[in-house]
């Protein structure tokens, strides 16, 4: 037997402590009764059933222990789970670093990327969607889901102020996107990378090749221009207060790294296109998604551990019910 939340088992120490304190109280009362005279002791014990009091205590302790075990979610045994597979999965990997706030493409690189993602989402019908934002670090914001509205909400809320480590960790983001794609995907999957490609931490080309070997296509959309633009600096309210400068005080110009992004698309077996204000960059991806949706649908069996918390929860309820029904007083 194992537990999904093993740390909750530490609450058994609390149960043991409360039980020990209650037992000490019972012993104390019996000790005080022993000091009384015979007549007084007989009168006190005439309505008190010591054995029932002990029984109620142990029933309560056992019920509390069962409840703690249920909360820790015990699992054992193996069962088969039927998973409905979908024809396609699309994972959006969007750069939210500060350079994506540049406005050489309107309204900004990041806002244009969001609009592109929304255009693609609007064309999808029942496919699985994932979202991995990144800057200097990457993280899974949304595992695969068929809820397009939730995906749209997460993408809309992405911004450069939500990350503390700047940079463009494309390799890490692509690796995370690959882990999002699971056995629910019946056909080929697609990763859509949206970035300006600037300020790399390590070479992402080997990761793109690995994706292609796994049958995961990588489409890349570049945001910005080779000439570049300044990076606006905003306050907490989102008002522009200046432009980004380096330590020497020189204004930083952020440029689109188009050769790298083209190489990534080639290595990943997909397309590269530079974004513009017309939104035409979404067309190739929409067509690719529609091709993926022609993949066979089906169902797969997956073996999973069986949760058993219900057994302990039922035991806890039964023991508590028994404890409440038992009276520690005799009927005269």
CA distances from 128 to 27, 113, 151, 327 (A): 63, 19, 10, 58
Q: How many CA atoms are closer than 13 Å to the CA of 44, on its beta-carbon side? A: 14
Provide φ and ψ at 221, rounded to 5°.
-120, 125
Alpha helices in the chain, H assignment, sequence order:
11-34, 38-45, 50-71, 109-123, 148-157, 170-180, 205-213, 258-267, 281-292, 309-325
Residue 185 DSSP label: B
For residues 133 and 99, give the distance between their C-alpha atoms in angstroms, rounded to a whole number.
14
Q: Walk along the chain (332 residues) and give the pLDDT tens digit of each residue.
A: 778 788 888 888 998 998 888 888 877 776 776 665 544 555 455 556 667 777 888 888 898 999 999 888 888 766 655 555 555 788 999 999 888 898 888 889 999 999 999 998 888 776 788 999 998 888 888 988 878 889 999 999 888 877 667 767 899 999 999 988 865 564 578 899 999 987 667 889 999 999 998 888 899 999 999 888 888 887 766 677 788 877 777 888 888 899 999 999 999 998 899 988 788 888 888 888 777 654 444 555 455 567 788 888 899 898 888 888 877 665 54
Residues 94 and 157: beta-carbon distance below 8 Å: no
Name residue, tokens 């889901």.
145
- Structure confidence at residue 92 (pLDDT): 95
- Structure confidence at residue 39 (pLDDT): 46
Residues 173 and 93: beta-carbon distance below 8 Å: yes
Residue 224 region, left (φ>0) first, then alpha (ψ -120 to 50), else beta? left
- Structure confidence at residue 297 (pLDDT): 47
Tokens for 108, please give them: 């900004």
For residues 57 and 69, give the distance between their C-alpha atoms in angstroms, rounded to a whole number.
19
Name residue, tokens 């999973």.
304
Strand 216-222 with 142-145, pairing: unpaired
Strand 216-222 with 189-195, pairing: parallel
Q: What pTM does this model have? A: 0.61
Which contiguous run of DSSP H or E holds residue 284?
helix 281-292
- Structure confidence at residue 79 (pLDDT): 61
For residues 292 and 70, give the distance between their C-alpha atoms in angstroms, rounded to a whole number.
43
Residue range 256-279, pLDDT digits in tens = 899 999 999 999 998 899 988 788
Residue range 201-253, pLDDT digits in tens = 788 999 999 999 888 889 999 999 988 888 888 776 667 778 887 777 788 88
What's the fold here for domain 87-296?
Answer: Rossmann fold (3.40.50)
- Structure confidence at residue 304 (pLDDT): 59
Residues 268 and 211: beta-carbon distance below 8 Å: yes
- Structure confidence at residue 152 (pLDDT): 92
């Amino acid at each position: 037997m194992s537990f999904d939340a093993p740390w909750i088992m530490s609450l058994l120490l609390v149960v043991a402590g409360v039980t020990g304190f209650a037992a000490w109280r019972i012993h104390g009362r019996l000790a005080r009764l022993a000091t009384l005279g015979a007549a007084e002791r007989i009168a006190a014990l005439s309505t008190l059933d010591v054995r029932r009091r002990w029984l109620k205590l142990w029933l309560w302790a056992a019920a509390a222990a069962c409840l703690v075990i249920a909360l820790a979610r015990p699992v054992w045994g193996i069962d088969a789970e039927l998973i409905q597979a979908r024809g396609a999965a699309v994972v959006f990997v969007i750069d939210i670093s500060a350079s994506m706030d540049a406005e050489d493409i309107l309204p900004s690189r990041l806002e244009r990327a969001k609009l592109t993602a929304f255009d693609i989402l609007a064309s999808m019908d029942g496919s699985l969607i994932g979202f991995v934002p990144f800057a200097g670090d990457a993280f899974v914001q949304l595992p695969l889901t068929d809820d397009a509205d939730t995906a749209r909400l997460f993408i809309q809320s992405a911004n450069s102020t939500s990350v503390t480590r700047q940079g463009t960790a494309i390799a890490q983001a692509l690796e995370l996107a690959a882990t999002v794609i699971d056995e629910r995907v019946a056909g080929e999957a697609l990763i859509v990378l949206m970035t300006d490609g600037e300020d790399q931490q390590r070479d992402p080309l080997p990761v793109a090749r690995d994706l292609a070997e796994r049958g995961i296509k990588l489409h890349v959309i570049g945001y910005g221009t080779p000439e570049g633009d300044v990076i606006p600096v905003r306050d907490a309210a989102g008002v522009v207060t200046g432009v980004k400068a380096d330590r020497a005080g020189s204004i930083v110009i952020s440029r689109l790294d188009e050769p790298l992004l083209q190489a990534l698309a080639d290595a990943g077996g997909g397309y590269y296109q530079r974004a513009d204000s017309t939104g035409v960059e979404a067309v190739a991806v929409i067509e690719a998604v529609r091709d993926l949706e022609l993949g066979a649908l089906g169902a797969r069996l997956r073996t999973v551990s069986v949760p058993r918390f219900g057994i302990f929860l039922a035991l806890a309820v039964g023991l508590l019910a028994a404890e409440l029904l038992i009276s520690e007083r005799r009927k005269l």
